[in-house]
Amino acid sequence: MKNSTKASIQSIVHAQLAGLAVGVLACLFWCSGNSVAQAPSPDSPAIEAKAKAMVAKLTLDQKIKLIGGVDSMFTNDIPAINLPRLKMSDASVGVRTWGPTTAYAGGAALAATWDREFAKELGEALGRDARARGVNFLLGPGVNIAKAPVNGRNFEYLSEDPYLNGALVAPYIEGVQSQGVSATVKHYALNNEEYNRHNVDVTADERTIRELYLPAFEAAVKQGHVDAVMDSYNLINGSHATQNEFLNLKVLKGKWGFLGVLMSDWDATYDGVAAANNGLDLEMPSPRFMNQQTLSTAVKNGTVKEATIDDKVLRLFRLALRYGWLDRPQLDTTQSTYSIADREVALKGALKSITLLKNEGHTLPLDQSKVKTIAIIGPDAWPAVTGGGGSSEAASFAPISIVTGIGNLVGPDVHVLYARGLPEMGDVFWQTHWEKGLTESTYQNKTFSGAAETATPQNINNYKQEWWGPEDKTPRSIRYSASFEAPKTGKYLVLAAASESDHFTVSVDGKQVIEQAQVEGQHPESATVDMSAGQTIKVVADYLPGFVGNRFGLGVVNEEDMIAADAKKFASVADVVILAVGFNTTTESEGFDRSFTLPWGQDALVEAIAAVNPHTVVTFIGGGGFDTRRWLDKVPALVHAWYPGQEGGTAIAQVLFGKHDPEGRLPVSFDRSWQDDPSYAFYYPIKGADTKLHVMENNHPAVDYDIPHVKYDDKLMVGYRYWTTTGKHPLFPFGFGLSYTTFSFSNLNVPATATSGSTVPVSFDVTNSGATEGAEVAQIYVSDPSSKAKRPERELKGFEKVQLAPGETKHVTISLDARAFSYWDETKHDWTIDPGKFIVLVGDSSENTPLHADLTVN
Ligand code: BGC
């Protein structure tokens, strides 16, 4: 962004605030993003008065029109008061809704940077991109806690820790909003799984909610001064987020003093009157419930006060006036739609987030002078996988794949050999040879019963990628029965896929091996079976289509034969193999949960390639932890590259070849297996406990939704809080990441005593004790052994990313505020500090804290 433009945006904002009674407070807000103000500063009395005057000019109908969206991504205009339509865009990894964009390393990758300054820089870049597209509301950041690794949207969110999320979200928002664009923190709240996300009712106690699931939103409001909040799809303790009195009125607008706009997620509203009375200001994307028909009647009969509607409109006007949206075009043609400056931010984010998890025998960094032939193998090697799927999916102008990134870096003297290594899914479906033929029986009911129409296709290859389709109103069920004979002894992969809202099961010799429930989106499912040569298995798939047509695919393939011959050949001649595995937009996405195991075939690929070339570096793309058990001990190095955005290939190449130290640190605990995860038993709905929700929408037949219930009985025992409290260990702990250099911590200084509620300065030294430059993330955890309430053994309360030259030492000082020592007292319904002993621990992960000191709080 040109400085002159930056100055002009600031001057608009400041001119509106200058000279006003609360100017000083406002400047605290605008001038220092890290301000620890306790509640958002109100707008100037002038803005407040002008906003109220605008509201007064409107009829009730006009006001109601303003609290419902239009054309999917806009608010309505009112030309009479000069109010334009306000434009929105997603969000998490780039300003994506309006054509190609710059795709950044956002969400979990941002959290892996542990870098507040970068969070602000990223926010500024997104703000500039938004202005270049005339966007008023950026529909991000997402800050839901990464409670479990299978949540399909973790990659869009940040970390498993509320403090880390809060520390990054505030500067991010400050960055976005500094460009005259409103940020929208989402999804408020307890939206920690995609599984049946519209309908699950999450039950959690207040302490768990306050300590784990709300602090990032609280920081967004109180420290980031976010302009907008997006309510989530799910229900929380019995009521949908969009009509949740506790969350919206008591906490957000009450206790936290939020003065901005509370909007719904897209089609997350279920009751116009309840939403209007419980804090929802804007129903997106259209007024299905908060509309004229419902609300003008409700105002007339007194169930909704006109003042309640006025307040919603007032909130929108505040933002419009604060940013000058009535007076200047939001589209800023002095910004670039595509720019090298943005690409630099994208590269920086990718470089800062790449996390090295295993590096046996100093396999990395690779020595460019010694590598003559490099094989790059795997489904994530090309094309570039910049992000996960769903509404955040950003089509980038110039995505750099791992193949092209490495090729560009090593130059013409190194042979770069690329192979995907695995077949495409459709190839498995059509190439499966069903030994005794295949029968497709279509029943005119949903129970696979009675007479069926039969066909004998050659294969089951109807899978299509689309999410949506016209709903199938005719009851149908399709059963496929087939036999498969193993041509040789070995492991066989049974692979199946269907589209959203389909349900299927697959059984082998009468035993069910796969079930895909009928929930929002879907990803391919697989199972492995051991077979000996000549053995025949009977495969039966029961498929219930949700949409018109048939979108089901099924195949069986020998795992060894599935690995492409060219991949094995390339691996055998290469000095080093970069094996790029992981997820992509079709396997990790909004709308469905992902598997903890790598997508189908990839475990077998790693095993096969590592067997050919032991000098194999596994590079993973995805939003969190995954199952490495089949091969981790067979490869010397593992690099977690998150979703690295469009410059991922360049960044990965630079890290692999030691041009940049791997400075990312895990923002989540990395489990061995999904079953090991502390939230595993509390993730899926309680079986048999579904209830009904009767929803009436004007001019539509009433719908009875099934409401499944998920109980957060893991309470505070999420991620490292569980591991450190129980003394058990995940595969890699929260905060962990290797570097090419080494660091040490010393000279911890903590006062012996402190008064309850005071700020406690903690200082220590971090030294780069190795031979190359690098960055360490110094982490402070606090333990409260004398607390009256049972607390997690330790909790993150401070961190600092420290860049150090070889041999350099930096003195770090971090202030711990009252919240660092507090917990939520369920009786007082407030934060409390129990005086007594605390332990301050300093180190480089939740498990490695070499420095510690006692502190008595009086
Ligand atoms: C997502 C939101 C997104 C919205 C608009 C919804 O499906 O949950 O995160 O902002 O769509 O695209």
* From the candidate CATH numbers 3.30.56.10, 2.40.10.120, 2.60.40.10, 3.40.50.300, the one assigned to the domain spanning 739-857: 2.60.40.10
Instruction: Report the percentage of the chain scoring pLDDT > 70.
Output: 94
What residue segments make up the domains of the chain, in order of their start? 12-39, 42-323, 354-422+563-666, 425-559, 739-857
DSSP structural state of residue 251: I
| Residue tagged 């939740």 (tokens) | 846
Summarize pLDDT for 79-130 with one digit per residue, the tens: 999 999 999 999 989 999 999 999 999 999 999 999 999 999 999 999 999 9
Above 60 in pLDDT, residue 27? no
Q: Give the closest residue (by CA) to ligand 1 atom 2.
A: 265
Q: Tell me the pLDDT band of 30, cut-offs 50, 70 and 90.
A: very low
pLDDT tens, residue by residue, 492-508 = 999 999 987 789 999 99
* Long-range CB pairs of 445-453, under 8 A, 24+ apart, other chains included: 445/475, 445/476, 445/477, 446/475, 446/476, 446/477, 446/544, 447/477, 448/477, 448/479, 448/542, 452/479
Q: What element of type H or E holds 355? A: strand 355-359
Residue partners of 159: CB distance under 8 A and separation at least 6 = 108, 111, 145, 146, 165, 667, 668, 734
Q: What is the structure's pLDDT at 646?
A: 98
Q: Distance (Å, rounded) from C-alpha 120 to C-alpha 333? A: 23
Mean pLDDT of the chain: 93
Instruction: Return the ligand 1 atom nearest residue 391 CA.
Output: 12
Question: 23-31 and 3-17 helices cross at what angle (nearest 10)?
Answer: 150
pLDDT of residue 152: 95
Cβ count within 10 A of residue 455:
11
Q: Provide the CB-side half-sphere exposure for 499 (13 A, CA).
A: 20
- Tell me phi and psi for residue 821, to 5 degrees: -110, 0
Ligand 1 near 191 CB (within 6 A): no
Minimal-distance CA residue to ligand 1 atom 12: 391
Q: Which 3 state secondary structure label does DSSP give 796?
A: strand
Calculate the alpha carbon distances from 441 to 272, 431, 447, 456, 629 in Å: 45, 21, 12, 9, 39
End-to-end CA distance of the chain: 50
Q: Are 843 and 831 in contact (CB under 8 A)?
A: no
φ/ψ region of 819 (left if φ > 0, alpha if ψ in -120 to 50, else beta) reads: alpha
Nearest residue (by CA) to ligand 1, atom 4, is 266
What type of residue sits at position 836? G
Residue 225 has pLDDT above 70, yes or no: yes
In the predicted structure, residue 489 carries a pLDDT above the cut 50: yes
Q: Choose, from 265, 661, 784, 834, the residue flagged as catalytic.
A: 265
What is the crossing angle of helices 45-56 and 306-323, to 10°?
Answer: 130
Pairing of β 503-508 and β 553-558: unpaired
Give the pairing of strands 703-707 and 691-695.
antiparallel
Q: Which atom of ligand 1 is nearest to the CA of 233?
A: 8
Burial grade of 562 (CB within 10 A; 0-12, 13-18, 19 or more): buried
| Cα(841)–Cα(783) distance, integer angstroms | 8
With a 6 Å cutoff on the Cβ, whether 265 touches ligand 1 is yes
Please check the confidence at residue 40 and state whether its pLDDT lies above 90: no
Question: Is 231 a pocket residue for ligand 1 (Cβ < 6 Å)?
Answer: no
Round to whole Å and give the CA distance between 217 and 229.
Answer: 9
pLDDT band at 43 (very low <50, low <70, confident <90, very high): confident
Q: Judge whether residue 379 has pLDDT over 80.
A: yes
pLDDT score at 435: 83
Q: What pLDDT, on the 0 to 100 scale, is given for residue 25?
A: 33
pLDDT for res 465 = 74
Phi then psi dihedrals of residue 855, to 5 deg: -145, 135
Q: How many CB atoms lie within 10 A of CB 566?
A: 15
Cβ(391) – ligand 1 distance below 6 Å: yes
- Distance in Å, CA 265 to ligand 1 centroid: 6
CATH architecture of structural domain 42-323: Alpha-Beta Barrel (3.20)
Query: Which residue has the CA at smallest separation from atom 7 of ligand 1?
Result: 266
Determine the pLDDT at residue 467. 62
Per-residue pLDDT at 21 = 32
Task: Tell me the CA–centroid distance for residue 727 and ligand 1, in Å.
Answer: 39
What top-level class would CATH report for the domain 354-422+563-666?
alpha beta
CA distance 489 to 341: 55
Task: For residue 549, report the distance from its CA to the centre of ligand 1, in Å.
Answer: 27
Q: Is 269 in the pocket of ligand 1 (CB under 6 A)?
A: no
Q: Taking residues 403-409, what's their average pLDDT?
A: 98
Which of 265, 269, 393, 592 best tests ligand 1's pocket when mutated (most atoms within 8 Å of CB)?
265
Task: Count CA within 13 A, CB hemisphere, residue 622.
Answer: 30
Q: Using CA atoms, how far apart are residues 474 and 358, in angstroms rounded to an integer?
A: 53
Residue 10 has pLDDT above 60, yes or no: no
Q: Are the CB atoms for 617 and 364 separated by under 8 Å?
A: yes
Confidence at residue 38, expressed as pLDDT on a 0 to 100 scale: 54
Q: Can you give the pLDDT at residue 187? A: 98
The CATH T-level fold of domain 425-559 is Jelly Rolls (2.60.120)
* Contact present, 844 and 851 (Cβ < 8 Å): no
What pLDDT sits at residue 502? 87
Can you give the pTM of this predicted structure? 0.94
Give the number of other CB atoms < 10 A from CB of residue 837: 14
Beta bridge partners of 840: 782, 853
Task: Kindly write down the DSSP assignment for every residue of 631-658, as one continuous string.
Answer: TGGG-SEEEE--S--TTHHHHHHHHHTT
Query: In the structure, what pLDDT confidence band is assigned to residue 63 with cuts at 50, 70 and 90?
Result: very high
Q: Ligand 1: which residue has its CA nearest to atom 3?
A: 391
Per the omega criterion (within 30 degrees of 0), is the bond before 678 cis?
Answer: no
Q: 266 in ligand 1 pocket by Cβ < 6 Å?
A: yes
- On the question of a cis peptide bond just before residue 733, with omega within 30 degrees of 0, the verdict is no
Contact in structure between 422 and 454 (CB atoms under 8 Å):
no
The pLDDT, as a whole number, for residue 474 is: 85
Q: Is the pLDDT of residue 523 over 90?
A: no
| Each residue's pLDDT tens digit, 632-660 | 999 999 999 999 999 999 999 999 999 99
Cα–ligand 1 centroid distance for 858 (angstroms): 47
Q: Tell how far CA 171 is from the center of its chain.
A: 18
- Separation between Cα atoms, residue 624 and residue 109, nearest integer Å: 9
**Does 704 participate in catalysis according to the annotation?**
no
pLDDT of residue 96: 95
Answer whether residue 28 shows pLDDT above 70. no
Give residue 266 CA to ligand 1 midpoint distance, Å: 6
* Ligand 1 pocket, residue 393 CB under 6 Å: no
Lowest mean pLDDT of 343-352, 458-467, 749-758, 843-852, name the range.
Answer: 458-467
Burial 800-834, CB ≥16 within 10 A → b, else e: bbbebeeeeebebebebeebbbbbbbeeeeeebbb
Say if residues 725 and 793 touch (Cβ distance below 8 Å): yes
